[in-house]
Structure 1
Amino acid sequence: MNVFYKLLLYFQKRGFEVCGRIAERLGIRARVVRTSFIYLTFVTVGFGFALYLFLAFWLKIKDLVYTKRNSVFDL
């Protein structure tokens, strides 16, 4: 057997079984729970990056619109 496969088998049999317990509690397969965790990880990372870009553009536009003027006559 491959070393990676042995390590994977070890963690599947003797791991914390978090996904297995959640799946058992919800009455679904553990594979569905694992893939859901993977997809949620990608979505949350993507959401954080999109939020960062939105805030960066918003601050840039705000700085362009609301520039500090020295006097009332600086238009």
Structure 2
Amino acid sequence: MKGQASDTQFATCIRNDDYGASLETRKVYQLIPDSDAEHNLLRVVDESGEDYLYPSSYFVLVDLPEDIGRALPAAS
């Protein structure tokens, strides 16, 4: 697989306990760099279109091909 465009990271939601209205399981979300990552939190652009911190255990990081990585943020 090729690298992602401009270091944009993505993760798939694998659980949404207590966040059912904000996160959909099996959906790919864009991550926003954040210093709280060291506290086992990820900043995710959720269903509201805003970015919030969520437990990292709710996600699995995914490595997407470059063309998909470029297309996903543009489609949001």
Report which of the two structures shows the higher radius of gyration computed on alpha carbons.
1
In which range does the TM-score fall when normalised by the shorter chain? Answer: under 0.3
More strand by share: 2
- Where relative contact order (Cα < 8 A, 6+ residues apart) is larger, the structure is 2
**Structure-1-length-normalised TM-score:** 0.22
